[in-house]
Chains A and B, each alone.
Chain A
């Protein structure tokens, strides 16, 4: 994915070839959907947010000033959409502080967990984090946004983004240690 080709597509769309927008949707749909999913933790809601974000991005495409990457601008829209969706619905996102993140240990769930790979473990652990923490980890490790770009998406300073990312990462480590210790020992 290159920023230059994004710009070419955007210019085509702005010249009236709106079908070209499908390329951008194809290119970013998984990232946008994942980011929304990390925040709202529900597939249907995440799909609605992702779709709405793409429509908003299309509607205000002329306002994209090309000072940042298109992806950064798009993720900013997704993040705001997802947060306002959460506020409206007042969803319980199971914050890590209320100690509800521990998975009930019964024979079946432990066996299931043990059969999972590292990838699944990370994805499952992310779903147990607070929305903000899961989003910042996704932006950095999955969407490959720099700390400066994450700062833009979350409307915070680069230094603050760095600290917040590190803390989110520490919480993820805590969740993994609380829930997936046996699995970790099997893997390593």
Chain B
């Protein structure tokens, strides 16, 4: 927050108008208010600028709404007759699924931390030797004979889970649309 003297030295016409406009809308901090009132009491330029802002604000208050066609309400009411109010979004987002995903994420982080801490060489007191980055290498060779079986098993489970969840999601959506 600038003090009044700094404000006076660095303020250009646009900043002055912005301050005066905020003054008009009673949106100033106590320091700014003090400064604006001081300037308005002593500075003719500020008084003229404020007068102009007041006139413009009065003009803007005169703004009028546009009117749509006479049939507008009737058209809207006819359109909504064929519509059904949708269920609120939070009723079909299953909180248990979100909790399950969150829990899984936390579990992965926890397992990683436990594994990483277990890799620290606590014995050596001269050099603090951390083997954190030496994670076990996983063979992703497509050759089934070469690769490790559990990796393919995991992939298969993930793919099956994905299809099951996708099917559940789409059938729920279909059911929701028809109700």
* A residues whose Cβ falls under 8 Å from a Cβ of B: 13-14, 18-19, 21-22, 25-26, 29-31, 33-34, 37, 43, 46-47, 50-51, 54-55, 58-63, 118-119, 121-123, 126, 137-138, 141-142, 162-163, 166, 169-170, 172-173, 188
Residues of chain A contacted by B61 (CB below 8 angstroms): 141
Q: Is the CB of A33 within 8 A of B86?
A: no
Which of A118, A162, A166 makes the CB contact (< 8 A) with B59? A118
Determine the chain A residues whose CB is within 8 A of the CB of B88 once the complex forms.
62-63
- Flag the segment in B72-80, B117-125, B168-176 that touches A: B72-80
Known A-B contacts A33-B67, A59-B86, A61-B85; A118 and B62 likewise in contact (beta carbons under 8 Å): yes
Q: How far is the CB of A66 from chain B (nearest CB, A)?
A: 12
Q: Which residues of B contact A (CB under 8 A)?
A: 14, 17-18, 21-22, 27, 55-56, 59-69, 72-73, 75-77, 79-81, 83-89
Closest Cβ neighbor of A61 among chain B residues: B85
Chain B residues with Cβ below 8 Å from A172 are 60
A33 and B62 in contact (CB under 8 A), knowing A22-B77, A55-B80?
no
Set A14, A22, A62, A141: member contacting B60, Cβ < 8 A? A141
Q: How distant is the Cα of A46 from the Cα of B67 in the complex, in angstroms? A: 11
- Asked whether, in the complex, the Cβ of A119 is within 8 Å of the Cβ of B64, the reply is yes
